């Protein structure tokens, strides 16, 4: 098992991210010391209710908790205030008080939604995150962002437009438990999506991990033993933790975590495009490299290595049927992370180092799109 301690300025109490094999069965005894209480609420993903959440519940019961369990369907439409409201009803019905832990078991959707409900119910209940997807282990469960989507009108393209994570809070968990055994049931396509964020982390701040990805290619993660998986997840958590600890609320430094994402958001929300987030991020990483080359920031060697690693783990590096650059750039301007009419991009310099470029010309952004266009 590996334990990483996160030190965030607000709240000042550090908390631990525990990564290991079989931890769900021991969760009760891990949670009890940080949340001494008689009652606990498990909010789980329907997909893991019978498997992992049931074992977690048994472990909590064994540790003396009176446990309620509610499962939610995880899709972006259900990541909503309606679901949060349903959770509030359940919390009330279970007579939770200000010290009752809320324990999320699932991917990023459940973690973000349950975390937001926990952060607002009675002005904040202790929150424990038990991520069960690779993406949630290396990304969504680290850093304390919680929230839900909100469909607003007059969106970027006129009609009712669901804006991702528009409602939310910064709320740190009291504990994160990542059990690599939970990933045994996760389909490969989801593993690859998680790997896209891992490649992002490696480019941002871990050249050695990048080299590991280069060496293992298609055998990355799926062929590794528990020890290698635990070590790899821990390295990813450390890259993100290192940034979040220095800039909790994204005043500047934390923006580097958006590497590839301004591009990714423009394509993944395009009507008729059926890309999963990690797949869009993979393309976004390559597009950022394209922009970086045009700006003279990214070295050609770095560009080539990024492309090879993305292809190596089995993610697409090109996409057919993309809209025009002008249309895509317009969509990028509508992104929540853009500022005014300007588009900010995170661009790799070398492996392990990136630069924040505040105002990128349309032609450089277009060079990025051209690089992923089939
Ligand atoms: N808070 C943050 O900092 C942050 C960062 C990145 C992403 N996110 C959010 O995370 C969400 C994406 O997270 P995700 O990729 O984990 O998606 P997800 O929560 O939708 O999970 C992916 C799918 O896997 C299923 N699943 C989960 N665990 C499983 C398991 N062990 N075995 C089998 N199936 C399993 C789920 O039911 C779902 O169908 C997005 O909503 C995104 O906005 C948040
Ligand atoms: Zn992402």
Query: In tens digits, what is the pLDDT along the chain, a chain of 374 residues?
Result: 999 999 999 889 999 999 999 999 999 999 999 999 999 999 999 999 999 999 999 999 999 999 999 999 999 999 999 999 999 999 999 999 999 999 999 999 999 999 999 999 999 999 999 999 999 999 999 999 999 999 876 655 556 667 889 999 999 999 999 999 999 999 999 999 999 999 999 999 999 999 999 999 999 999 999 999 999 999 999 999 999 999 999 999 999 999 999 999 999 989 899 999 999 999 999 999 999 999 999 999 999 999 999 999 999 999 999 999 999 999 999 776 666 679 999 999 999 999 999 999 999 999 999 999 99
- Ligand 1 interacting residues, C-beta cut-off 6 A: 45, 47-48, 74, 79, 106-110, 112, 132-133, 135-136, 139-140, 143, 145, 164-165, 182, 185-186, 190, 193
Residue 123 annotated in active site: yes
- Lookup: tokens for 128: 């424990």
- Asked if 197 is an active-site residue, the reply is yes
Beta carbons within 10 angstroms of residue 344's beta carbon: 18
Write down the pLDDT at residue 336. 64
- Among the bound ligands, name the one nearest to the CA of residue 194: 1
CB 178 within 8 A of CB 131: yes
- Whether 337 sits among the annotated catalytic residues: the reply is no
Q: Is omega for the bond preceding 11 within 30 degrees of 0, making it cis?
A: yes
CA atoms within 13 A on the CB side of 220: 29
Atom 3 (ligand 1) nearest CA: 140
Predicted pLDDT at 344: 97
Flag whether the pTM goes above 0.95: yes
- Catalytic-role residue among 200, 277, 344, 371: 277
- Provide CB contacts within 8 A for 327, sequence distance 6+: none
SS3 for 209-221, per residue? HHHHHHHHHHHCC
Ligand closest to Cα of 193 equals: 1
Distance, CA of 198 to CA of 255 (rounded, Å) = 16
Nearest CA to ligand 1 atom 19: 107
- 254 an active-site residue? yes
Can you give the pLDDT at residue 162? 73
190 is catalytic: no
Query: Structure tokens of 194?
Result: 């998680």
**Ligand 1 pocket test: which of 21, 44, 47, 278 has the largest number of ligand atoms within 8 Å of its C-beta?**
47
Which of 55, 133, 247, 264, when mutated, tests ligand 1's pocket best, judged by the most ligand atoms within 8 Å of its CB? 133
DSSP string, 268-314: HTSTT----HHHHHHHHHHHHHHHHHHTT-S-HHHHHHHHHHHHHTT
Burial class of 259 by CB neighbour count within 10 A (0 to 12, 13 to 18, 19+): buried
């Amino acid at each position: 098992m590996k334990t990483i301690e996160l030190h965030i300025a607000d709240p000042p109490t550090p908390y631990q991210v525990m990564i290991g094999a079989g931890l769900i069965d021991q969760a009760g005894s891990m949670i009890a010391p940080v949340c001494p209480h008689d009652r606990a609420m498990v909010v789980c993903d329907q997909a893991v209710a019978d498997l992992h959440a049931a074992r977690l519940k048994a472990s909590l019961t064994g540790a003396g908790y009176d446990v309620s369990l509610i499962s939610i369907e995880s899709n972006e439409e259900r990541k909503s205030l309606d679901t949060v409201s349903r959770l509030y009803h359940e919390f009330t019905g279970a007579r939770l008080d200000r010290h009752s832990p809320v324990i999320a078991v699932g991917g990023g959707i459940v973690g973000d939604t349950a975390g937001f409900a926990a952060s607002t119910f009675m002005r904040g209940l202790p929150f424990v995150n038990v991520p069960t997807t690779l993406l949630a282990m290396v990304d969504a469960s680290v850093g304390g962002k919680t929230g839900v989507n909100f469909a607003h009108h007059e969106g970027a393209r006129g009609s009712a437009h669901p804006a991702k994570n528009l409602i939310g809070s910064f709320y740190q968990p009291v504990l994160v438990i990542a059990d690599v055994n939970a990933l045994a049931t996760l389909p490969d396509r989801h593993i690859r999506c998680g790997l896209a964020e891992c490649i992002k982390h490696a480019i941002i701040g871990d050249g050695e991990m990048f080299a590991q990805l280069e060496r293992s290619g298609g055998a990355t993660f799926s062929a590794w033993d528990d020890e290698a998986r635990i070590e790899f997840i821990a390295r990813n958590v450390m890259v993100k933790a290192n940034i979040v600890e220095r800039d909790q609320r994204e005043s500047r430094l934390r923006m580097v975590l958006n590497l590839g994402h301004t591009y990714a958001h423009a394509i993944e929300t395009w009507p008729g495009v059926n890309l999963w987030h990690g797949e869009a991020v993979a393309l976004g990483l390559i597009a950022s490299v394209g922009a970086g080359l045009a700006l003279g920031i990214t070295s050609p060697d770095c560009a080539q290595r990024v492309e090879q690693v993305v292809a190596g783990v089995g993610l697409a590096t090109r996409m057919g049927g993309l809209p025009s650059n002008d249309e895509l750039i317009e969509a990028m301007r509508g992104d929540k992370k853009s500022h005014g009419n300007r588009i900010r991009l995170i661009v790799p310099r070398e492996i392990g180092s990136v630069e924040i470029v505040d105002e990128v010309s349309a032609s450089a952004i277009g060079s990025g799109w051209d690089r992923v266009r089939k």
